[in-house]
Amino acid sequence: MTDVLFIKTSSLGDVIHHLPALTEARRRRPDARFAWVVEQAFAPLVRLHPAVEAVIPVAARDWRQSLHRPATWRAAADFLRALRARRYDLVIDTQGLFFKSALLARAARGRRHGYDRDSIRERAAACLYDVRHPVARNLHAIARNRLLTGRALGYEPDGPPDFGLDRASLKAASHSPYGVLLHATARPEKEWAEENWSALAAVLGQKIDLVIPYGSERERERAQRIASASPRAHVPERQPLDAMAKVIAGAAFAVGVDTGLLHLAAALAVPLVAIFTASESGLTGPMGQGPIATLAGRSTGPTVEEVEAAVRATAGIRS
């Protein structure tokens, strides 16, 4: 059996964009055993993929905030022991960042594969691999992950991306249909104005229940203000990603800015309207087997009326 270790630690969108590479690797190399190094917050989602046999969580985000604490160094030492406990036939770093992933690949035991200097995001990271592969930088992130993985494992990718997540089995029980509004993003320039979200909640809430999740305290307060626009809008408690995946899987539709949960909705084939105000949708936009409408091209984003029309067309909601 071939032992393969993938390194893709974060962010959530990047992790989701790697899932099709894993699905394809399992299909093309059924003899292989797959492990994955990922940030601990995203580990519950990675464990939902049936091809993952081992997850090695890393808490680098937390460690950076507490380098002065002895507990941090003990936790880092425990992680390194877990990382090096097994020798792998291949270590594949599809992230391509020096500190975030390439150093972890270097610490792992196995032949290390990554992007070459002309393909990688941080050129110094390429020096830490044993084998370097050329992959065009103007491709979508999903295609780049699949190409690098295929070249490391000895095949060329084919067919549409398969995220390996079964929406039907994940759906949470619900007595009535609902939509999900994904307003939160870590980068302010990717946001859609709060007043737009409130206006959208007010109009969509006339036809369907709405769920408005959040990740931080600031986002919780924003979600509550948006929810106040409709009596049918609900702000759930913060949940781990495997539970959030069930909420999104059960939705009739999702509307979101460029954020990790948007890509999760696409991966689950939930009817989706994506609002892009700053990032390049051609390189990192949502992809999936469900209907997707991407509204991009203006820094202020689309109008509320444009988003409402896209939701009705994508999700089949009647006026």
Could you write out the DSSP letters of every residue in 39-106?
Answer: EGGGHHHHTTSTTEEEEEEE-HHHHHT-TT-HHHHHHHHHHHHHHHSSEEEEEEE-S--IIIIIHHHH
| Percentage with pLDDT > 70 across the chain | 99
275-299 pLDDT tens trace: 999 877 788 899 999 999 999 877 7
70-113 pLDDT tens trace: 999 999 999 999 999 999 999 999 999 999 999 999 999 999 99
Shared domain for 127 and 182, answered yes or no, is: no
Say which DSSP state 117 is in: T
Q: Which of 121, 153, 185 is the last residue of a domain?
A: 153
Q: What is the pLDDT of residue 236?
A: 96
Q: Which of 97, 119, 153 is the last residue of a domain?
A: 153
pTM of the model: 0.95
Structural domain that includes position 182: 167-315
146-178 pLDDT tens trace: 999 999 999 999 999 999 999 999 987 777 999
Residue 161, domain member (yes or no): no
Q: What is the pLDDT of residue 118?
A: 97
16-59 pLDDT tens trace: 999 999 999 999 999 999 999 999 999 999 999 999 999 999 99
Residue 159, domain member (yes or no): no
Average pLDDT over residues 220-234: 98
